[in-house]
Amino acid sequence: MIPIHGLHLRAVLIQALRTFFIDRGYLEVETPIRIPAPAPEAHIVPLTSEGWFLQTSPELCMKRLLAAGIPKIFQICKCFRKGERGDRHLPEFTMLEWYGAKSDYRDLMRDCEALLHHLGTVMGKGGVLEWQGRRIDLGPEWEHITVAEAFRRYAPCTVEEALAQDQFDEILVEFVEPHLGMTTPTFLCDYPVVLGALARLSPAEPKVAERFELYVAGLELANGFSELVDPVEQRARFLAEQAIIRLQGRDPGPMPEVFLDGLETMPPAAGIALGVDRLVMLFGGADNIDQVVAFMPEGL
């Protein structure tokens, strides 16, 4: 059954996203969906296409545009991730990404607040979102909590212990995520360095990366970070990811050399990826991602 109500909401919301960024001086860009070398990431599997890959994120191409001197850009595009299917996942989904030169992850958090306020107004929700029986106040002060603190507060072990036992993801999903974004949206910040492949280390606390995830009502909505612009460090992290991918028995594909070359001239910057389908779920009160897309892969 085609979810007509969800499609109407989706159209209005995407229009509102565009207006928000265009009004703030961002340039809307389109970059190729089919690319020769995606960023190697241990747990994101790209789909292949005639020897190339369908993008899992437009990140690398968008950063090359920053390096070329365009200071503020955004894109709304399709991304593809193999095997990701569930109530909150589709293997083909819609991503919003935006990047700003000379900014860091704190600026992105402020952008997120302004964006959700804007959408609340446009979508007639005012300052309150209701989702899965929760009332989320979009009002002035959003919760900020570090990964270390969230584990101390909600998990049966510390973040270091979880990493050492190779149980970080399991514990995050079972014990931590259900508490995030329950009264206001929550920024889960400052990830262990091993979990921030393209993020800059915190100057104040070099054991963590300046990366955050935005949660609303337990739903993970966006992932942003202060970009790593050191080509040597970036290559080392890509090599580490490629080693993990090989251990999994997968082919990591070619190193994104052109991207690494371009990092030399990239200004300090921050960038973020936000799941548009999930945003429509939140504003439309939909429990399942199937309710906000025209067709699911199973229905084609």
Partner 1 sequence: MYSASDFRKGLKVQIDGEPYIMTDFSFSKPGKGQALYRARLRNMITGNAFEKTFRSNDKLEKAALEERTMQYLYKQGDEYFFMDNVSFEQLEMSKAQLGDAVNFLTDNMDVEVLQYNGRPIGVTLPNFVNLKVTQSDPWVKGDTSGSDSKPVTLETGYVVQVPPFIEEGDKLQIDTRTGVYVTRVKE
| Site residues for partner 1 per CB under 8 A | 1, 3-5, 41-44, 83-89, 168-170, 172-174, 177, 191, 195, 197, 213, 220, 223, 248
Shortest spacing between CB 164 and partner 1, in angstroms? 16
Amino acid identity of 165? Q
Rounded distance between C-alpha atoms, residue 185 and residue 121, angstroms: 16
Other Cβ atoms closer than 10 A to 112: 21
> What are the C-alpha distances in Å from 194 to residues 41, 49, 206, 208?
11, 29, 12, 9
Q: Please say which residue, 4 or 300, places its beta carbon nearer to partner 1.
A: 4
DSSP states of 204-224 = S-TTEEEEEEEEETTEEEEEE
The strand pairing partners of 48, in sequence order, are 53
- Which residue shows structure tokens 């892969």? 297
To partner 1, the closest distance from the beta carbon of 174 in angstroms equals 7
What's the min distance (Å) between Cβ of 216 and partner 1? Answer: 15
| Pick 51 or 83: Cβ nearer partner 1 | 83
Residue 284 Cα distances to 3, 9, 281, 294, angstroms: 11, 7, 5, 14
273: three-class secondary structure by DSSP: strand
Residue closer to partner 1, measured from CB, 121 or 248: 248
Please state the closest distance from residue 14 (CB atom) to partner 1, in A.
19
Q: Tell me how far, at minimum, the Cβ of 299 lies from partner 1, in Å.
A: 10
Q: Which is nearer to partner 1, 79 or 101 (CB)?
A: 79
Closer to partner 1 by CB, 141 or 251: give it.
Answer: 251
The burial class, CB within 10 Å (0-12 / 13-18 / 19+), for 168 is buried
- Closest contact distance (angstroms) between CB of 67 and partner 1 is 23
Beta carbon nearer to partner 1, 20 or 80:
80
**Ramachandran region, residue 25 (left: φ > 0; alpha: ψ -120 to 50; beta: rest):** left
